[in-house]
Structure 1
Amino acid sequence: MLHYLGKELGAGQEQKNAWYRHWVGLGLAALERQLAGNPATSLFCHGDTPTMADCCLVPQLYNARRFDCDLSAYPTIAAIEARCAALPAFDAARPELQPDAD
């Protein structure tokens, strides 16, 4: 999508970053509301052990930081991410630790 914005629509880097931050912010705000208001939310998105939801959440936050998204409005998400980061499997999956990382 970001490639399309630049190549097809002529958007500059800051315009693409603003577009990304806008849509990620909307999505994370909705997820924060859902998680914070759901009794199934506990240590992780759905209970006390990680699920696929947590496996999908962590990379989204990694990319959000790449584009300087302000994540301060999402305390539930931040707490879940911190618990994920403390687990060896999540730590080993960080992009910068992968063999093809640049």
Structure 2
Amino acid sequence: MNYQEAHKILERRRLLKLAHEYRQKGYSVDIYPTSGKLPPTLANLSLDLIAVKGSEVIAAKVRTRETLSLNGSEDLRRISESVEKLPGWVFELVVTNSRT
């Protein structure tokens, strides 16, 4: 297994855990939402998860510490700014490592 594959596995594992946590709190969760399930302003952005409860929507991205710096922060800044412009939407960045 190479370096990138290992980090993708860590990110996927944390994403599934995050989805479970939100479901336990009563949210409806969609992992890797398609553009059709997102508002037009977010349709071209890559989100890992959206969690909906009433009028509250949490849009999340999961990264390892290493891929956070490898991928840069410009895409995260663009996602965060786009999400925060929508009423009731919140962006959550979840950073994981090999111990989570």
- On whether the aligned pair clears a TM of 0.5, the verdict is no
- Normalised by the size of structure 1, how large is the TM-score? 0.29
More helix by share: 1
Return the structure number with greater strand share: 2
Higher Cα Rg, which structure: 1
